[in-house]
Amino acid sequence: MYNKIGYELRMSRIINPISGNTIIVAIDHGLIIGPISGIAPIEDVVKRISNASPEAIQLSPGSVSAVFRVFKGKNRPALILRIDATNTWRKGLPGENENIFHTGIISPLEALKIGVDGVICFFFVGHNDAILEGEMMQHLSDCSYRCREIGLPLIVEAVPVGVENEYEHKLVRLAVRVASEAGADIIKTNYTGDIDSFRDVLEHASVPVLIRGGPKTKSVEESFRMVEDAMKAGARGIVFGRNILQAEDPSKMIQDFSKIVHEGKGK
């Protein structure tokens, strides 16, 4: 009983109960790809983003230790914790490795003890490595079971990797369907580039689907158009990092995205 109550309360902090949608700002890039512009000093970044009032902020365990005071008190964003790591996107940077690794770094129970509202883990398809995909499925299934036991919402970042086109409709649809079947509470995935194909992706999900920002877009207008189209297709919000953190004015970007995500207004 109590785990269900905890789950409902935490989900209501992650997804806006009025609009039914959400804006999550990801600031866990250092764990995945190392130093990038816009994420340091971490406490200043998190404080500035928090004051812009997104529904949630996504961090890694070490960053939470450094900035947890930002989340104290009323009217603070929900806290999402990254519980696994990979080198998949570390191409061309120090530490590049042709072999993909994936590993858990903290358990759902340990995350709950920190006081988070939800956790996020990866699930990859298309990398032509059945062993890795099997290990990731095992990790996802285990996380789903453990999260349900303690009432902790699980976001699954379900994406194609190691393929020619990571935004290809059929591959994204496959990733979303598998994550949905495996126990995700929310799915984060790539936008497929047009409303019709993404609407088809969403038809194969039984949980809310959010679009990820990925690399910084070529223009602000491109970001707005992507979000507008995704919302028209039926997405329930965004999980953006660089397209907010590396913007000229990150706080204004959050406000502008909020008009699209929560109010249905175009830019």
- Token pair listed for 37: 């512009």
- E strand intervals along the chain: 22-26, 56-59, 78-82, 84-86, 102-104, 118-125, 154-160, 186-189, 209-212, 237-240
Provide the 3-class DSSP secondary structure of residue 163. coil
Under a CB-based contact definition with an 8 Å cutoff, are residues 267 and 221 in contact?
A: yes
Query: Choosing from 188, 216, 218, 252, which is the catalytic residue?
Result: 188
Pairing, β 154-160 against β 84-86:
unpaired
Active site residue 188: yes
Pairing, β 84-86 against β 118-125:
unpaired
Under a CB-based contact definition with an 8 Å cutoff, are residues 6 and 152 in contact?
A: yes
- Dist CA 91 CA 68 (whole Å): 31
Cα dist. 51→28, 159, 218, 242 in Å? 18, 30, 26, 18
What contacts 136, CB < 8 A, 6 or more positions away? 102, 122, 123, 124
Q: Active-site positions?
A: 188
